[in-house]
Structure 1
Amino acid sequence: MALLLLLLVVAGVVWGVTTLLGGRDAAADAPPEPAAAEEVATPSPPPSPGHVAVCAAEDVTAEVVVEPAGTGVSVEMSMRNTGEVPCLVDVGPGTLVAEVGSGTDAVWSSAHCAGEATEELLLDTGSATPVTVSWDGHRSAEGCPGDQPQVGPGTYRLAVALDGAPLGDAEVFTLG
């Protein structure tokens, strides 16, 4: 009888301990309460190695200087990237367009004979990169017909645009 009583007491203790520990385990197994949502800014990934972004039009400026040279002009442009990362810009004659006019007369455009020519230029941030465009003083027309006449002496203006967006003010110059 004593042995039976001892077994009942041990069974009761085991049951009591299991119940107490089982309640604690149930709390541990319960999913945690959802935390308040935290907003974390995810930085954009850097460009992949070997890939350089195309310059945004608003990040490119140019200082333009027109130098008359005989019957034409040499246009010196100091291209500058004001963006935060180095970028590529197409300075080919169809994208970086120089146009000469006199009054309402459209005299010459670098785009007239550009074809599909492209010339990519890597612009570092903040530094100036020189680009030169030359005009020999002959008129031009759409489709690039040959035998265009030489312009005469007079006052002309030169406007430069990058992909249709003006780069600074028109420069006025005089030919002989």
Structure 2
Amino acid sequence: MSSAGGTGSSRVNGPRRKPSPRVYKRRRQLVAVLALLLVGGLVWAGIAVAGLFRGDPDPAPAAGSASAAPGPTASASSPATPTPSATPSATASPTATPSPTPTSTEPVCNPASIEVTGSTDAETYAPEQNPVFSLTVSNTGEVPCPVNVGTAQMEFLITSGDDRIFSSRDCQEGAEDLEVTIEPGESETARFTWERVRSAPECAEVENVPGPGQYVFQTRLGERTSDETVFTLE
């Protein structure tokens, strides 16, 4: 009969035996091989990762080697040839000098060459005679001149001292403008017959009539005025 608290079998644990020197040697060799494999894997992984960052499948050059092939440089003996641009550059064209505006070769009329004169057909008039007055426009210049000789520009004026006797504008009707060209050395003449009556501005009625005596005739055309001409009524 077995003793109380025992099991169906019993094993006596004795002291553990140390591995033999051969076993130690094999273990060290195995650890060394595993270490070499681990280091080699890390080195390969580092090279692969470095290639990804460089974007270049080629491995990094060794230290001390040229990092990149140098570009072409100009030598001292021969000048560098410029590389033509793909896009042609714009060349500034010379600015055209504006030609002077041609001036007219036709001569221009000088207003001072137009003269206005007045005259009478007689110096003395008998009681039954009506004086005839003339207005003459002359071109004393060397080129043709346009002149307005219309009745709207004319005036036949008679005075006696400070007394205004008559003006053709006082009772004028249908006055109009008329422009003509007067050639050099030529003239235009207008005539007016005075019926020996007095007049007033705006054709106001005047009862008095001019008596015998001396009178002054003067004619006007626009802004031009003739010299005075003296005549006598009997």
Query: Which range, TM-score by smaller chain?
Result: 0.5 to 0.7
Q: Note if contact 2:153-2:177 (Cα within 8 Å) is conserved in structure 1.
A: no
Q: List aligned pairs for 1:58-77, cutoff 5 A.
A: 58-68=112-122, 70-77=128-135
Size of the alignment, in residue pairs? 145
- Higher mean C-alpha displacement, 133-142 vs 63-72: 63-72
- Partner in structure 1 of residue 91 of structure 2: 30
What are the superposed Cα offsets for residues 24-56 of structure 1, whole Å, 9 maximum, x if unpaired? x75xx5232335x5672443598xxxxxxxx98
Kept in 1, the 8 Å contact 2:132–2:194? The answer is yes
Counterpart position of 1:124: 182
Residues 1:153 and 1:56: Cα distance change in structure 2 (over 3 Å): farther
Q: Deviations over 1:96-118 (max 9, x none)?
A: 11110001000000111124412
Aligned to 1:155: 214
Could you state the TM-score of these two structures normalised by the residue count of structure 1? 0.64
Q: Which residue of 2 aligns with 1:80?
A: 138
TM-score, normalising length from structure 2? 0.50
The answer on whether the counterparts of 2:118 and 2:218 sit within 8 Å (CA) in structure 1 is no
Query: 1:126-168: CA deviations, max 9, x gaps?
Result: 21122112211101111213464331111111111222431x3
Q: Which residue of 1 aligns with 2:197?
A: 138
TM-superposed deviation, 1:64? 2.1
SS of the residue corresponding to residue 72 of structure 1 reads coil
Structure 1's unaligned 5+ residue stretches are 1-15, 47-54
Letter in 1 for 2:154: L
Deviation at residue 61 of structure 1 after TM alignment: 1.3
Alpha-carbon separation, structure 2, partners of 1:123 and 1:81: 10
What CA deviation, in whole Å up to 9, does each residue of 1:43-82 have, x standing for no partner? 3598xxxxxxxx9864531232212454432112321235
2:163 maps to 105
Is the contact made by 1:158 and 1:172 (CA closer than 8 Å) also made in structure 2? yes
Residue identity (%)? 20
Counterpart amino acid of residue 43 in structure 1: T
User: CA–CA distance in 2 between the matches of 1:175 and 1:169?
Assistant: 20
Alpha carbons 1:139, 1:151 under 8 Å: kept = yes
**AA of the residue aligned to 2:130:** G
Deviation at 1:172, TM superposition (A): 0.9
Amino acid at match of 1:34: T
Larger Rg: 2
Q: Does 1:43 align with 2:94?
A: no
- Between structures 1 and 2, the one with greater strand share: 1
